[in-house]
Chain A
């Protein structure tokens, strides 16, 4: 490899570090992302300027890049902000799949070289190849299942069948045996079989994970793909792939732990809780216990004469596209002299920070968005808490019911407010699939209906006061 290309790769590696650094601060985030994109484009142009490589099939390669680029841009531009998490999962999955295919091709090279008497590859290279094939496939299959769960192509509840732990353990052992075989005597069929077993492991890994925990799994699979790319970099003797992959692997693992901490869960519990029977609690059915429902006019009176209002927005708000009407309502309440804040749970929406993106899209002023730690002490002074399309993040079961799937998750203390208004479509439980005691509390009123529709009625009623 010419020295100047190696130096370009080094510069790209540095840019990736700066990109991640930039992405972790609100002011530098956008430039950080653009820097990362520029570095990635420059790096991918290098093979075309690398004369000794004698790159073949150039038109086909460019066509394939064009197809992928068009697909990627189309997906990224058209996706609804509410569907962002599954889009990230999908992009992550195809990356893992690409890495596994690259490793299979490299294995093909190794096998051919050996057949032509070119000598065997060192065992460590073969081990890295096996790792890339297996973990890339796990990441691919796992991400596709994650996508299906979030897109509601399949149930978001944990899927467990008898014998799952045995099958899962068995396929892990099979993967290790195949990897050992591959290192001992590299053959193509062993690599392909290893990839297939990887797909099975990925499937079995994500199926038992409940919908509420899926974001953590996306983050974890993201880290997996990073490590896969790093191992692929070693196999291909490409330092940039090693650096970039390792950066993503390490930061992704760390980010997964941060997210899990924000949700009060441990990663092992999320992945293997359902296998042990821990996360499958919860009836997941609508209850017929009595609740107090109100009409928009009554709710408007409660809100209109309140001094301190806290809004708890959830995914249901975003699905109904009611965030713009909600902002109007808040504007009217502020004009009437009330102090209004939005209480943002770290995992409101479908991923940490997802709700901030959604509300920013509706141009809610940044000062009104308050994080959980800042606002939790304020609930006891709040006259009214308006919960819009959220459920699990205000469920007191997280504090009171050991054994509930969300037990231990920090929640917003909406139960401490004087009055609580829930805007709900039905009595169906939240994403975690458990009943919310707060709904049956005597200070709670329920405003049934589609969030956007009810919000519009509520807005008009408040204006009419």
Chain B
């Protein structure tokens, strides 16, 4: 038996919904902002779609629109990941500081 193509797509969609909810269900409110920002960067993957559509068109208007889409999508993707990393740097930078102060206290 071969699965109907439409059903395969629906299967992927439904399973992804469950995975998406499951992976973030235990997030603490401290990380809501970086998580939102990181998820925001991930949907910048529309850049892949924009490249595919733009690279296969022969129409001049479509080419211009496609290039605009590529610019917008790369702002979303690259900017999103960089800004998330900047936020998360704030959380990790003090980690080396914490054990240091423990040592200070011990000494």
Contact = CB atoms under 8 A, between A and B. Distances in A.
Contacts of A20: 20, 23-24, 35, 38-39, 42
A75 B75 contact: yes
B17 interface: yes
Contact of B36 (A56, A124, A222, A243): A222
A365 B43 contact: no
Interface in A61-110: 61, 64-65, 67-69, 71-73, 75-77, 79, 81, 84-85, 87-88, 91-92, 94-95, 97-99, 101-102, 104-106, 108-109
A444 interface: no
Which of A16, A32, A67, A242 has most B Cβ within 10 Å? A16
B42 A351 contact: no
A222 B50 CA distance: 19
A68 B26 contact: no
A164 interface: no
A29 B91 contact: yes
B13 A242 contact: yes
A88 B23 contact: no
B54 A250 contact: no
Given A64-B71, A258-B27, A357 B76 contact: no
A437 interface: no
A68 B73 contact: yes
A360 B93 contact: yes
Contacts of B69: 97-98, 101-102, 105
A236 B38 contact: no
A351 B92 CA distance: 20
A360 B49 CA distance: 37
Contacts of A101: 50, 65-66, 68-69, 72
A180 B67 CA distance: 29
Contact of A236 (B35, B47, B52, B62): B52
A17 interface: yes
Given A20-B42, A98-B46, A53 B52 contact: yes
Interface stretch (A35-43, A197-205, A426-434): A35-43
B20 A95 contact: no
A69 B78 contact: yes
Interface string B1-35: 00000100100110011111101111111111111
Contacts of B40: 88, 91-92, 95, 222, 225, 248
Nearest to A9: B48
A398 to B, nearest CB: 17
Contact of B20 (A53, A98, A232, A251): A251
A390 to B, nearest CB: 16
Given A40-B44, A366-B94, A23 B57 contact: no
Contact of A68 (B19, B27, B72): B72
A344 B19 CA distance: 30
Contacts of B44: 40, 91, 95
A91 B27 contact: no
A30 B62 contact: no
Interface in B81-107: 81-94, 97-98, 101
Interface in A231-254: 232-234, 236, 238-252, 254
Interface of A: 16-17, 19-21, 23-26, 29-30, 32-34, 36-37, 40, 43-44, 46-47, 53-58, 60-61, 64-65, 67-69, 71-73, 75-77, 79, 81, 84-85, 87-88, 91-92, 94-95, 97-99, 101-102, 104-106, 108-109, 112, 124, 218-219, 222, 225-226, 228-230, 232-234, 236, 238-252, 254-255, 258-259, 262, 346, 351-354, 356-357, 360-361, 363, 365-367, 371
25 contacts: A23-B39, A46-B48, A64-B67, A65-B70, A81-B87, A87-B79, A87-B83, A95-B73, A101-B50, A105-B69, A106-B53, A108-B59, A109-B57, A222-B36, A226-B43, A236-B53, A238-B49, A243-B12, A245-B46, A250-B16, A353-B29, A353-B31, A363-B93, A366-B94, A371-B30
Given A36-B81, A244-B43, A353-B30, 4 more contacts: A109-B57, A241-B46, A246-B17, A250-B19
Interface of B: 6, 9, 12-13, 16-21, 23-59, 62-63, 65-94, 97-98, 101
